[in-house]
Amino acid sequence: MMAFRTLAGGYLDLLLGKGEMEFSYRDRLKLLGGVAVLAGLHATGVLPAMDVIGAALAQDAKKTLRVTIVPEPPSLNTAFNTAIMVQQISTKMLDGLLAYDKNFEPMPALATEWKVADDGLSITFKLRSGVKWHDGAPFTSADVKYSFEEILKKHHPRGRATFANVAEVEAPDPLTAVIKFSKPSPYVMAALSASESPILPKHLYEGGDPTANKLNNAPIGTGPYKFVEWQRGSYIKLGRNPDYWGKGKSEVESMIVRFIPDAGARAVAFETGELDIGGTDPIALADLDRIKALPNLAVTTDGYAMCGAMYYFEFNMRDPQFKDVRVRQAIAHAINREFVAKNVWFGYGSAATGPISQKLTKFYTADVPKYPFDPKKAEALLDAAGFPRKAGGVRFKITHDPSTYSEQYRRFGEYFKQAMRAIGIDVDLQSTDAATFQKRIWTDNVYQTSSYGIFNLPDPTIGVQRMYWSKNIRKGVPYSNGSGYASPEMDALLEAGQNEVDIAKRREIFNRMQVLAMTDLSIIPIINVDYTTVYNKRVKGFTEDLEGVFGTYANVALA
Amino acid sequence: MMKRYLVRRAGQALVVLVLIACVNFLILSLAPGDLVDVLAGESGAGDPHYLQALREQYGLDKPLYSQLLQYLTNLVQLNLGFSFRFNLPVRDLILMRLPATLLLMFSSLAIALLGGIVFGVAAARAPRSLRDSLISTAAMLAYSTPLFWAGLMLIILFSVKLGVLPSGGMRTVDGPKDMWGIVVDVTRHLVLPSITLALFYMATYTRLMRASMLEIYNMDFVRTAKAKGLTSRDVAYRHVVPNSILPLISLFGVQLGSVLGGSVVVEVVFGWPGLGLLAFDALFQRDINLLMGILFLSSVMVILVNFAIDMLYSWLDPRIEVGA
């Protein structure tokens, strides 16, 4: 700004100073033209100052992976921000204790062996030896202890809930870490991936405010890629970590993450070969058929099982109109979920049957009360509940708040309005932005019905319980139990599910929970959402584990 | 005389800036929800203590008047505050993005001004001819075409079909390192966005130039010039054009502010790493400090430019005096 002002001042002086002399009006115009040219030259002179990667070497295209993440993440460390765009970049640099195979079974990462105690009150991890942080310091159990006790339990957005029962982490020797629980917490084993619980370097975080640490924008981790630079608004560049513990696997020398805000422009960049891979719906779903038909591009829905993405419809149970379960059943019968999956989500999703995602194969059950599309039955239920059609064919009016994060959500709102009109319910759609939406639903509770995308995450205690547990009716907390649903029976099941160590018994508990949720119907699960990854066929090896674009990309190869 | 005028203008500017800062702050705090809501929402945070801790850290738990007072105190010390979302000082964030926006703004305004004058003159010299109709129709089209659509069409034509220009961004990542190579690279990236943004303004300038020239053509001195036997070309370029440019210059001053708004759309379509995009994100993420910083900077820019235009005006047309 100063420079700009001096520059402008200089020209002004020039013009005014000359003005003292006798100049014709025409001469002044000419001078003005000259100054414009000069200013143009100055503008180009500004350019070299923008160059910061002068020293970087030109890369062979075969060794550079060109990624896009939508939208640009605000910071790069998922320990402090678990938004999906942050998780996609953080995991390339920061490792977790475990990784997961396609059956959600743990695989070695920073920990090579693990043992859950029979009473479920501790987990012992053997750590990988010889692992170095990107700055060369050795990775030890002290880092694990610090990360869990000081970072994940205190500053991770979900960590205070997930690790609530973590009493302490013991580090008996540099390569052993023991997590001690006050109560058995079997779900913790599912939350130790790089995307959920990254391990941070104690020696670089200790002593300051970890949330304000500059490394959150330039992580130093143990992962396969090192941070190189971040040109905000343009791109992030990562380089290969030559000392990575999974040696010899990655053939990618550098990774460039470009930020292209417009979906149409992203599609163009994939078509012209400027992008290799992008996750979490980088291209409008309506555009995917065209993209799939191109010879060099492909689309996959693999790699999102860990998210367990769902689309829920929710009643505000405080509203007297929804007190009668028959009203809630009627609305469930009037929503054609197959139609929504096919037309709103363009087939990238399937009709949901219960609150737990079909992708959480360990816990999902189809054996629950069902509400097939049946407008006649819906009308009969509404009549029986004492809401007959009045003048104009309208039974009653409700508001609906669809979430704002994606185009599909808004379209679902439009579908819902039409579907309700068919059974005599008049819907007033609310159009808001993200902050307003959250305030209306979870802080002020001023909505009547809402719908939103939600992640079940790898364990129902972490991702599903929060919507049904009466102890999680918390004002101002997004994605808590906003409906106000409270059932002692549900609470008992959820609380039993938290501490049950035996997997078969735990599965049985959650089966009963799913039946109860679909009986009480505070939430109508609408869609199991399939996120899409668009990639160039020259990229190999990113779908081998459970995590897809949330994985480390350590095994990615370029043909 | 001049000094008194400058002092008065500076005084007015200060009052306006303080008012703008207050109004910005109050309007923005009317928006429901805050940065913590947004962060918690996209993170799927599940803990009230966590949210409370964030609000305390960001100072969002304090009453509104004390937040405003704090903001103004910082502003007086030329401190624009801290963006908690980006974990960086607002000043740094703005400085990172300002050059790209200025480059886009000035190059597209230059294109618009030059094109507007050329087409306007061409149309006005032969009113109601085929040339005039073509230019006026084209201007009408450019005026009414949505910017984002025009941008996408240009991308499809020049990047996808012809493959001659890059589809977005400001520089080739890992592109040329030498000074000349960088200039060429940035220029190639600049062509499409600056033309897209220029189209609308070029249409305005064309129409304004045409109208203003037609008005001047009716004046007595033009009749005198014609009467003394000057060619139509001399009449146009020596007498009419110079006298028709003044309205363009004042419009230029007014529009400099609105270009900043229009550039948001162009920046989104072309992934141009400018300030508009940052402001757009800041609004939806309730990053109030950042948004206020950008708005404040824009107001400073508009005030400075309008001042410069006023000076320019009186200097170009000596009949108009800078009055104290």
CB A468 within 8 A of CB A517: yes
Average pLDDT, chain B: 85
- DSSP conformational letter for A100: E
Report phi then psi at A67, rounded to 5.
-115, 155
Compare CB distances from A268 to B159, B170, B267 and report the shortest one's residue: B159
- Mutation for testing the A interface, residue in B167, B190, B243 having most A CBs under 10 Å: B167
Are A477 and B57 an interchain contact pair (Cβ–Cβ within 8 Å)?
Answer: no
pLDDT of residue A20: 39
pLDDT of residue A249: 62
Are A435 and B245 an interchain contact pair (Cβ–Cβ within 8 Å)?
Answer: no
Cβ contacts of residue B64 below 8 Å, gap of 6+?
B29
For residue B298, pLDDT over 70 is answered with yes
The angle subtended at Cα A507 by Cα A501 and Cα A511, nearest 5°, is 145
Are B245 and A29 an interchain contact pair (Cβ–Cβ within 8 Å)?
Answer: yes
> Chain B residue with minimal CA distance to A56?
B174
Report chain A residues whose CB lies below 8 A from the CB of B47. 157-158, 160-161, 477
How distant is the Cα of A140 from the closest Cα of chain B, in angstroms? 28
Residues of chain A under the 70 pLDDT cut? 1-61, 247-250
Amino acid occupying residue B296 = F
Q: What is the mean pLDDT of residues B66-72?
A: 86
pLDDT tens by residue, B159-214: 888 888 888 888 887 777 788 888 898 999 999 999 999 998 999 999 999 999 99
> Chain B residue with minimal CA distance to A26?
B242
pLDDT of residue A18: 38
Q: What is the mean pLDDT of residues B270-299?
A: 85
Q: When comparing pLDDT for B84 and A172, which is higher?
A: A172
CA distances to A75, A170, A305 from A146, rounded to whole Å, are: 21, 10, 29
pLDDT of residue A184: 93
What is the value of ipTM here, to two decimals?
0.75
Compare CB distances from B168 to A256, A260, A438 and report the shortest one's residue: A260
What is the β-pairing status of strands B82-83 and A539-540?
Answer: unpaired
Are B43 and A82 an interchain contact pair (Cβ–Cβ within 8 Å)?
Answer: yes
Q: What is the pTM of this model?
A: 0.80
pLDDT of residue A212: 85
pLDDT of residue A458: 86
Compare CB distances from B86 to A74, A265, A439 and report the shortest one's residue: A74
Cβ contacts of residue A9 below 8 Å, gap of 6+?
none
For residue B324, pLDDT over 70 is answered with no
How distant is the Cα of B81 from the closest Cα of chain A, in angstroms? 14
pLDDT tens by residue, A292-322: 999 999 999 988 988 899 999 999 999 999 9
Candidate from A434-438, A444-448, B41-45, B303-307 with smallest mean pLDDT? B41-45
pLDDT of residue A426: 95
